[in-house]
Structure 1
Amino acid sequence: MDQVIDEVNQFLVPLTGTKITKSMINSYVKQGLVERPEKKRYSKQHLAEILVVSLMKPILSLDTIKKAIKIAVKMDPVNIAYDQFIRAFNEELGKTQTHQLKAVDYQHMAIRSLLYKLLVEDLVNQNL
């Protein structure tokens, strides 16, 4: 478990400033967001699941994340679905401008975030 936490936090902390904890991972497993480890051993898939949940948690409810993951893995094998998420995440991160922003830029980003959040929640609920 300590290795899982260290590995996930290596990517999570620089992006979000937050750390994953043992109790958070246990909660994700208990709620069905992350598959149960076999004999307390975590795989690459577990790491990917924990990372995706941790990245999306500040924006979406755990219920919405669970539904979205279910939709994604219904459309593609798990490894492909997670690879697509990471590619999309990195692509959007590369497009994000953070220098010389004006107040109106922050406003647009906040509004866009809200609209995308509402849209994702609506689409996820329509697909299940």
Structure 2
Amino acid sequence: VLLLELIKTCFIKCRAKDKVIQSTGDMIDFEGGSVTLNCTYETTSTVNYYLFWYIQNPSDCPEYILRRDKYEQADTAPEYKGRFNAILDKTMKTIPLTVQNVQLSDSAVYYCALRPTVRITFSQPLQKHLWKNRM
């Protein structure tokens, strides 16, 4: 149990300065138009990190739209390919989401999220430590 708490504490400390900042308020456009939602991020990660966009309709859970990472790997959910796109700008630390050919069904709450990669290294196998603590 002690070892797990240590991992949890390190993870929280490593991520303390990692965050996303989204513009607030409503975006209004006409059907068929194009809209861009802004998101800036800050991370202390020196390895890979991932940025995500999610959509949440009323009374539903957030739904995955797309992911971009530091090494320019990209993934977009099949139902959002074509009209939804985001380009990660590592210099400006932004990942704006652009929705083309806006439809009424696109009216929702959009979330930008960041997941840094944190490496925790142990000098001995984790299982061995857990086994010793249980005795």
TM score, norm. by length of structure 1: 0.25
Structure richer in strand, relative to its length: 2
Which entry has the higher C-alpha Rg, 1 or 2? 2
